[in-house]
A and B are shown apart, each in its own frame.
Chain A
Amino acid sequence: MADFIFWIIWALIVASAALVAFGNNLIHSVFALMGTFLGVAGIYIFLNADFLAVTQIVVYVGGILVLLVFGIMLTNKISSAQISQSSVQKWLGLIVVLGVLTIILTAVLPHDWVGSITPMAFNETVAGIGKLLFTEYLILFEIASVLLLGALIGAATLARKEL
């Protein structure tokens, strides 16, 4: 049963990612991205990373995807619900993709993935993540928050009327 659910999630990720890449309708692509994000969250759950899975949903589906939708809807020159997305320079893109794929495969294939699997009992991750964020990685955490604050101030400055 768990395997069955895993394969459903896998199919969801691949199918929606394919729709994102090859779809002709921009809005459909954006909403198909939701399937990919949710599927990745499901994979995280299979990896016992419950906190990460939910964070994935909150950040990507609740935040970034909505931002993408906003971006499209606030664009000018939209007169109907059909916005086409055309892929340009397919051959150049194919070469780049093949190159990246070769690099990834040379890194992934030599490793013995199946042999290194050890089934683990599920442990809560939240407390551990919290402790690490506020002890060992405190500086990095603060740097990330300053970066986000900078982005926020920048956006507010750009959106001001009297620039």
Chain B
Amino acid sequence: MIQSLANWILSFDILAGLGNPIAWGLSLFIVSALIFVFVAVNAIVLVYIERKVSAFMQVRLGPMRVGKFGSLQTVADALKLLQKEDIIPRSADKILFLIGPWVILVASVVTFAAIPFSDTLLAADMSIGLFYVVSISSIVVLGIVMAGWASNNKWSLYGAMRSAAQIISYEIPVGITLIAVVAVVGSLNLQTIVQAQGGTGNLFYWIPLPLPNWFIFHSPFLFLAAFIYLIGATAEINRTPFDIPESESELVAGFMTEFSGLRWALFFLSEYANATLVAFLVAIIFLGGWQSPFSNYAGAQIGFSILTLLAVMWTLFVKAKTQRLSFYPLGLSLMITIAAWLFPGFAIWLASPGLFWMLIKVGSVIFLLMWFRWTFPRLRVDQLMYVSWKVILPISLFNLMGVAVWMWLTGEIHF
């Protein structure tokens, strides 16, 4: 859609007088602006959801005052942050202090150019998409170090150093895990990776359980790889339980200690952009991206029927455990199931690929990340390094070899 939008802009008569280059530049600008708007709105929504999720996990209510159920709380927060004074410490390195947050933000936003939102909604169809995303997100380190150093504050500097060490360490296992997937597809193009996961097949090739052809079900090794990637990526974006660069109990706020107002908001914006990016990558690489989990409309009907049965069991389980009835999962899945059986059109829509499935998957992964954040305690610095170099890295290397052997056993490749 973005590409057709660019073509639509090019077709304007007014622009014909300006010449093609300017129209082309304008279309590029609009596409970039769309991506930035997505990231900004996404951050506002995610901050609200994160506060609500954390509240429910701690048996609180969370924001309730501004708007219905506090839904406008983050909008109010954002407006407040925009009005705040932009304080620059006297002994700070002014230039780097001003640039730092922007470097982080640009590096996080630019990566979305290669992300396929659906089969047509894609800003840049790159043959090296996955590699591009990985490489651009490594620029974030420099922005963090820039901000931390320029603050001229020991907490900031410690935070920046920890962050740099952490991101560099976790880049290696994450990269090797991604190579395992690339070895299966034979392409770095994210769109090709998603297209390779269409249709349904057996679980782990031999177990006769019809599941979508997603790479998480490709082999036991890629199943493991998905979790390795999720752990490594959580560490790479400095989220709890790996948020030692900004651990409040030790470093005040790490590399963002000295920042205020808009600049501080930029850190938040890029943090949530990065979390969304990781969720997108997990969805694209392991969960089939915009592919529907159902191969045809009968599959959708049966799939949602099974889901309803699971929801019944969930309701009974919650009832037995807590003496409370939780109707929401059951009600929702029952409604969708009935609709799928009554209206074949709806079932066909459910079975067709599209943005809807992508967002469902991304939302689930983001929820998982929030779940991590509010249930796991923070790691110590040495534990963090131990996990990266002595646990995750060997497993990911083993995974890479395992995937190659697996593909040879299933006959996907020949030597």
Contacts and interface: CB of A to CB of B under 8 A. Distances in A.
A1 B161 contact: no
A71 to B, nearest CB: 12
Nearest to B131: A54
Q: SS class of chain A's interface: helix, strand, loop or mixed?
A: helix
Interface in A57-77: 57-58, 61-63, 65-66, 69-70, 73
A66 B142 CA distance: 7
Nearest to A58: B135
A10 interface: no
B252 to A, nearest CB: 18
Interface string B18-38: 000110110000000000000
B139 A82 contact: no
Contacts of A82: 93
A126 B24 CA distance: 27
Interface in B121-140: 126-128, 131-132, 134-136, 138-139
A4 B171 CA distance: 35
A130 to B, nearest CB: 9
B383 to A, nearest CB: 19
Given A73-B149, A73-B161, A124 B127 contact: yes
A68 to B, nearest CB: 10
A20 interface: no
B194 interface: no
A31 B188 contact: no
Contacts of B149: 27, 69, 73, 81
Contacts of A55: 131, 135
A4 B91 CA distance: 39
Interface string A41-62: 0000000001100110110011
B92 A81 contact: yes
Nearest to B23: A1
Contacts of A116: none
B96 A126 contact: no
B207 interface: no
Given A27-B149, A70-B164, A73-B149, A58 B134 contact: yes
B95 interface: yes
Interface in B249-305: none
B174 interface: no
A51 B93 contact: no
Given A1-B25, A28-B95, A57-B136, A81 B128 contact: no
A55 B138 CA distance: 12
A34 interface: yes
B356 to A, nearest CB: 31
Nearest to B186: A127
A41 to B, nearest CB: 9
For the complex of A and B, list the 3 residue pairs with the smallest distance between their C-beta atoms, beginning with the closest.
A62-B138, A1-B21, A58-B135
17 contacts: A31-B146, A50-B126, A57-B135, A57-B136, A61-B142, A62-B135, A62-B138, A66-B142, A66-B145, A70-B161, A73-B157, A80-B152, A81-B91, A81-B150, A124-B127, A125-B127, A126-B187
Interface of A: 1-2, 4, 25, 27-28, 31, 34, 50-51, 54-55, 57-58, 61-63, 65-66, 69-70, 73, 80-82, 124-126
Interface of B: 21-22, 24-25, 91-93, 95-96, 99, 126-128, 131-132, 134-136, 138-139, 141-142, 145-146, 149-150, 152, 157, 161, 164, 168, 171, 187-188
